[in-house]
Structure 1
Amino acid sequence: MSMRREAFLDHVQERGEYRTREEAERAARVVLALLGAHLVGTVRAELAARLPETYALILLNPLQAAEPLSPERFVRATAAWIEGATETTALWDIGAVLSTVAAAAGGILIRDVLLQLPPGYDLLFGHPQPT
């Protein structure tokens, strides 16, 4: 069962402490577009199925990444796509969106997602993996 769009944005807005809905919306779009470029196959499809349709489509039609970005470069790319963002605010945006995605997806699916990502993304999702 996918999360409703309003509920998803409520979570992002609350976790990101955004003043406006638009800020939460922009963060969600950018982070999911970048994340989608890193995921393939059934894992991406399953994750999309847990998200509201708007965001599922962004995840399934991502910006194509030439190579998987390290967590640091993912943060830099996010900052580049969000007007006026810094790496610090981008890290905040990513945390707000990916922790919401993790809550919608559940632990087992997020573990599968993390297996497709370079090391260190567990911290961006707020799910530190035992090393």
Structure 2
Amino acid sequence: MGAANTAAMPPTRMTWTELVDSVRESGQYATRAEAESVTRIVLSAFGGHVVGDERVDLARRLPVEAARLVASQIPVSRQLTAAQFVESVAFRVLGATPATARWDVSSVLSVLPRAVGDDLVDRILKQLPPGYALLFGRAQLTPAA
């Protein structure tokens, strides 16, 4: 296996505990329980927006608990913009504002590249409307005209 392959996919599957701990660190949550709750809510909301081979690969690469959250969602009939997605998460988190929901979403989605690999995140971003890259902690690149 060459260096390019090892960069594409994480060497080992992250555990649920490692995923939640990464979210806790990323979002600076006070407790593990808070980080776990946010992780569950965001992955459940996100699950319906990933379709096709990317959805299958995402479920394969995530910890089993996270894979179930993603795979159990019915694919959405209409893609939400990044702002609408954040708003939908705000409705699911008790006491959330758009700003805190954006923090929660970014805290979870920004750890996905470490969990599932940059290659898969790139593929997922290609099927989502503009604006999602920022939620993953990436610059929103636009093709040159």
For Structure 1 versus Structure 2, the TM-score category normalised by the shorter chain is: over 0.9
Amino acid at match of 1:4: T
Deviations 1:64-123 (A, max 9, x none): 534111001011011100001111111110111001112212211111000111111000
| Mapped pair 1:119 → 2:125 | no
1:57 alignment partner in structure 2: 68
Correspondence for 1:79: 90
Residues paired across the two proteins, number: 131
Match in the other structure for 1:24: 35
Relative to the length of structure 1, the TM-score reads 0.94
For residue 13 of structure 2, what is the aligned residue in structure 1?
2
Q: 1:54 corresponds to which letter in structure 2? A: E
Cα RMSD between the aligned structures?
Answer: 1.3
- Distance in 1 separating the partners of 2:58 and 2:138: 16
1:100 aligns with 2:111: yes
Query: Percent identity at matched positions?
Result: 42
Superposition TM-score, scaled by structure 2 size: 0.85
How far does residue 63 in structure 1 lie from its aligned partner after superposition?
Answer: 5.2
Which 5+ residue runs of structure 2 have no aligned equivalent? 1-11
In structure 1, what residue type is equivalent to 2:133?
D
Change (3 A) 1:63 1:41: closer
1:19-44 deviations in whole A, cap 9, x for unaligned? Answer: 11111111111111111111112111
Any stretches of 5+ residues in structure 1 without a counterpart? none
CA contact (8 A) 1:33 1:63 kept: no
Distance in 1 between the 2:76 and 2:98 partners?
A: 19
Aligned residue number for residue 11 of structure 1: 22
CA contact (8 A) 1:13 1:24 kept: yes
Give the SS at the match of 1:110. Answer: helix
